Amino acid sequence: MTNCEDESQPVDYEYHPIAKVGDLSEGKGKSFTVAGHVIGLFLSEGKYFAISDFCPHQGASLSGGYVEDGKVMCPWHAWKFQLKDGSWADSPTSPIRCESYPVRLIEDEIEIGIPVKE
């Protein structure tokens, strides 16, 4: 399972286990530092998603925001971001967005993919 559907993103990822299925409640997020990236892991509508944990507006932790309908709302100024690709929900074509990361499940382990630098 992945939330990284954009073909322009790197194909090679190194996956890191960060949590187990059941560690995160529906509609919640949790912050993890993985290979130098601060990432918010979210569970929305039964699916796991990973995006940068920093709001691009003023840097608030998105993992503390309200999650609903595949979006997270920044707890500071209510900006909303799509969990599937990190796009700004109010203006999806805007360059303002959060980096998104692929998520996969290996048995009960949740893994996040970090792009491999060449």
**pLDDT 10s digits, 13-72:** 999 999 999 999 999 999 999 999 999 999 999 999 999 999 999 989 999 999 999 999
Whether 102 has a pLDDT exceeding 60, the answer reads: yes
Question: Which position has the token pair 């971001």?
Answer: 81
Angle, CA of 6, 24 and 18, to the nearest 5° = 65
What's residue 117's pLDDT? Answer: 80
Distance CA 9, CA 25 (A): 29
Whether 7 has a pLDDT exceeding 90, the answer reads: no
Taking residues 3-10, report their average pLDDT: 46
| Domains and their CATH numbers in the chain | 13-115 (2.102.10.10)
Which of 56, 13, 27 lies closest to 2 in space, CA to CA? 13
